[in-house]
Amino acid sequence: MNASRDTMDQEPLSYRDAGVDIGAQDETLERAKKSIQASFTPGVLGDVGLFGGLFDPAKVGCAGQILVASADGVGTKLDVAKRAGIHDTVGRDLVQHCINDILVQGARPLFFMDYVGTGKLDPLVVSDLIRGCADACRENGLALLGGETAEMPGLYSAGDFDLVGFIVGAVAPDKIIDGSRVRAGQKLIGLESDGLHTNGYSLARKILFERQGHELGDRPVELGGASVQEALLAPHRSYLEPIWPLLEEGRLAGIAHITGGGLLDNLPRILGGLRAVIDISSWERPPLFRYLVDAGRVETSEAYQVFNMGIGLVLMVEEDDVNQVLASLEKSGERAHLIGHLDDGPSGVVLEQGPTS
């Protein structure tokens, strides 16, 4: 005999009964729609809600250029945002991280797409995430071309979500930054970060929340007046505005975005077989990094591989161009430092305390 229950007397089931609220998805899109449309550039064809985003590079002066694409996430900085109940800032972080990832190859960003996965869709939370992405796109001159919001009960727990993004930019073939112009004797210029950006949060959270027992509102004296929340949610900066004029002038031989892996792992990605010699006394480590290293008793090599340690972008510049590059960065309000040089020593990164040349 079939042991299955008789379904005739049972209530009909809906998608909402299974944990997916289509109405909430519609509300989320409606809340974010104006912010998305405000990011549209002349290259965007169509409107919000199509199956795919359409973009004409020729309408923004990029006909015949090479496309550069990248994808990334925000990592466990999302946990801090969830604790704080502040969600638009991580959307901004995501876009600006991705902008930097293609900027270092000489590309101007054209458009961005986001993906939000969640257990139970909260229209306020998700629309804030998308609004943060849209605002950063608008401010940096690229379009939020489309995205996806997926409600997946059982895969994500209640209140949990993930945020990832995809960016496409363009660069003229003769302007590509690929390491081919990097050579020994060039100087390294470091541009300051605004905190952790989007990397090292698993260790930072362990130190601040578990070892030190801090709450988000705490203001330990070591942070120089900032709260834990303010220090951890400081934005991941976009370097597009100060760097673009230097790219157009051809003054940059190489660029490295200092993300996961820190100075130790990111510089070798553009150096080939050269060695980067870094004077770690050439810039002042911000209070957050000093506190994390001291409170976590983090070894120097570990710190410079996990955290950016106050440097978010590194430029490789010919010695004759150093003064012009520093002057341009200063004029744009950038905080930049001459932090080292390249030589023919064994490939990799060497950290020194004191002048490197």
pLDDT band at 55 (very low <50, low <70, confident <90, very high): confident
pTM score: 0.90
Q: Are 93 and 236 in contact (CB under 8 A)?
A: yes
Residues 2-18: tens digit of each pLDDT: 555 565 667 774 556 55
Q: What is the mean pLDDT of the chain?
A: 90
pLDDT of residue 356 exceeding 60: no
H runs (alpha helix) in the chain? 22-38, 77-84, 88-103, 123-140, 201-205, 228-232, 240-248, 262-266, 268-271, 287-296, 300-306, 322-331
Query: pLDDT confidence of 47, banded at 50, 70, 90?
Result: confident
- In this predicted structure, what is the pLDDT of residue 36? 77
Domains of the chain with CATH codes: 22-53+60-175 (3.30.1330.10), 187-352 (3.90.650.10)
The C-alpha atoms of residue 61 and residue 161 are separated, in whole angstroms, by 37
Measured from the Cβ of residue 355, the count of other Cβ atoms closer than 10 Å reads 9
pLDDT at 345: 82
For residue 19, pLDDT beyond 70: no
| Integer Cα distance of 24 and 4 in angstroms | 33
Rounded to whole angstroms, the Cα distance separating 57 from 64 reads 9
Token digits for 6? 């008789």
pLDDT of residue 35: 76
Highest-scoring range by mean pLDDT, 114-118, 237-241, 351-355: 237-241
315-340 residue pLDDT tens: 999 999 999 999 999 999 999 999 99
Q: What six digits make up the tokens of 117?
A: 């996965």
Identity at 325, one-letter amino acid code: V
pLDDT at 30 over 80: no
pLDDT at 113 over 60: yes
- Nearest Cα to Cα of residue 41 among 165, 133, 137, 147: 137
